[in-house]
Structure 1
């Protein structure tokens, strides 16, 4: 694995590029961009999947979203869907500059919100030849179903306050602990899964600091990752979901994307007994997912 960076506008995006074990710089390789979830960084689940892709002969790139992790950009902790999608395009730009990458064989996969961003990028990014999502979610459903109007009104008030000199509002992506979630009335199945992954040694990473710029919500609640997928998402498509359904909605979103996508070559695979967060890192669930992902990319790249 090598530390690299590429440009998005006038800042640097930090990335890890995972290379096959028998890597030969004189050969040409298929490449896969791996897109991390919201609140995550490249060293977490996206990096785990990227490493496994490299073990199976692909060049795999995982990166920190702009404004987050080790990547540049201001304001910090912004989760902006348009920029997240542009990060993906810039990652592909970078891959096309590498002599050992076959630019005709570039694939894209994303986890959770990264799956939604990956599918959305593929609508207009024709350099992407195959797309896979793992528990993919669309931001407008994930953030827009719970009192969205009140949220938007709160964002408006916050922006007004900042225009008058107040500091930016930074909020946590998740409660700090299961106990904290219970006290706040947010101890839902998927939220507890998120806490167990991000806020414990299981998946915690120093640069995944659980900070979200509150003003991000105005873009998140209206971003439909699958808008026009019935017209423009034509690439081979693989969707992986678990059947242990929680409020984050990746099971439902997976079938929504499957039914909507224009792809002729499309499949959805349900991992029995797996929750949203089992498919981040738990061996039994991720091995089953990889048994579908690896041949899918081998066949279509």
Structure 2
């Protein structure tokens, strides 16, 4: 049980486990684009939705991304465009890609990129996870798409999923290129890193900050980078069943089994906690003046985070909280009935506001 308790503490800071090369070979994608979500594209067919792997530089770091173009895409025309930010520990080939593809099916150009230091993108040390970086990733996707053929820069929208939702809210506070912002199963990374999930770790805030500070000192002295997870071996079914929160149990299955990807990792550098624990997605929510749509599962144990931010976004041009009845947090990532509802709502929202 001691090992399980340690893992639970580490997973409180992210979605859960390292879905690395040690994952079950049956779950490794055979998709030519590396996509692991249901209904993923396997080839580009003329006249249909297509995927375009791209690379660009962000402050000297190579970013890998996928751009999805709608059916009968004509680069001489102008299309509303959406930037999609992935969850903590996630990659573009998982849920972010699913929603990017489905929204392209509704006539949008979309992009989703692996965050710097994570996934297939560059950056060293690996798994640096700082809010400022994730927000800069979002700005950079907008920069890149502003130069992409067919993009209508006057009709640029933003979608953030899970941790990407919290970062998208912060990006929208400052970047008014985004004319409409939506979140799906928003996760307030800073709040959870600081207080623990459902405020389960408030008694250890100062101790964890001290460890993060020590980890930075070691790095500054040229020592070995310290990580939150000292073991990245997948959890057993028995260990998963003993995890205390539904988010962690279902997330372990999603990231480690059913939708595992070799570039996806829930690990992060301990020094990142210095930035994460002093950050909060809900601060300055009054700066959001764009139309706002927040989607969450009615049964999600993360819903309290969406509720908090939604209530504080007092200056949004319009705002709506849309609940997927019966859905948990992770089910909004893959379950067809919930994905269909969310995509329909998102498409209508962006069509009305872009």
TM over 0.5: yes
The change in CA–CA distance for 1:180 and 1:291 in structure 2 (over 3 A counts) is same
Does the 8 Å CA contact 1:175/1:181 hold for their aligned counterparts? no
Q: Which residue of 1 aligns with 2:299?
A: 244
Greater CA drift, 142-151 or 100-109: 142-151
Does the 8 Å CA contact 1:139/1:222 hold for their aligned counterparts? no
Q: Distance in 1 between matches of 2:148 and 2:266?
A: 33
Q: How far 1:166 moved relative to its partner? A: 3.4
Q: Which residue of 2 aligns with 1:256?
A: 308
Q: How far 1:129 moved relative to its partner? A: 0.3
Structure 1 segment 152-231 matched on structure 2, within 5 A: 152-172=209-229, 176-177=234-235, 178-181=237-240, 186-200=243-257, 202-230=258-286
Q: How far 1:72 moved relative to its partner? A: 1.2
Q: Which residue of 2 aligns with 1:66?
A: 116
Q: How far 1:47 moved relative to its partner? A: 0.5
Which sections of structure 2, spanning at least 5 residues, go unmatched?
Answer: 1-50, 196-200
Q: Distance in 1 between matches of 2:255 and 2:331?
A: 13
Q: Which residue of 2 aligns with 1:89?
A: 139
Q: Which residue of 1 aligns with 2:37?
A: none
Q: Which residue of 2 aligns with 1:299?
A: 352
Q: Which residue of 1 aligns with 2:332?
A: 279
Q: How far 1:94 moved relative to its partner? A: 0.7
Does the 8 Å CA contact 2:165/2:185 hold for their aligned counterparts? yes
TM-score, length of structure 1 as denominator length: 0.93
What do residues 262-300 of structure 1 show as CA deviations (whole Å, max 9, x unaligned)?
113110011111000001111111111112111001111
Q: How far 1:252 moved relative to its partner? A: 1.1
Comparing both chains, which one has the higher relative contact order based on Cα–Cα distances under 8 Å and sequence gaps of 6 or more?
2
Structure 1 segment 89-108 matched on structure 2, within 5 A: 89-108=139-158
Does the 8 Å CA contact 2:88/2:266 hold for their aligned counterparts? no
Q: Alignment partner for residue 270 of structure 1, among 303, 306, 323?
A: 323
Q: How far 1:104 moved relative to its partner? A: 0.2
Q: How far 1:221 moved relative to its partner? A: 1.4
Does the 8 Å CA contact 2:211/2:270 hold for their aligned counterparts? no
Q: Which residue of 1 aligns with 2:207?
A: 150
Q: Distance in 2 between matches of 1:29 and 1:175?
A: 44
What do residues 92-116 of structure 1 show as CA deviations (whole Å, max 9, x unaligned)?
0111112310000000001100000
What do residues 165-200 of structure 1 show as CA deviations (whole Å, max 9, x unaligned)?
531122349883243356xx6432111011011010
The change in CA–CA distance for 1:164 and 1:25 in structure 2 (over 3 A counts) is closer
Greater CA drift, 39-48 or 135-144: 135-144
Q: Distance in 2 between matches of 1:189 and 1:174?
A: 20
The change in CA–CA distance for 1:76 and 1:299 in structure 2 (over 3 A counts) is same
Q: Alignment partner for residue 188 of structure 2, among 118, 138, 151?
A: 138
Does the 8 Å CA contact 1:6/1:90 hold for their aligned counterparts? no
Identify the structure with the greater strand proportion: 1
Q: Distance in 2 between matches of 1:134 and 1:106?
A: 18
Q: How many residues align?
A: 294
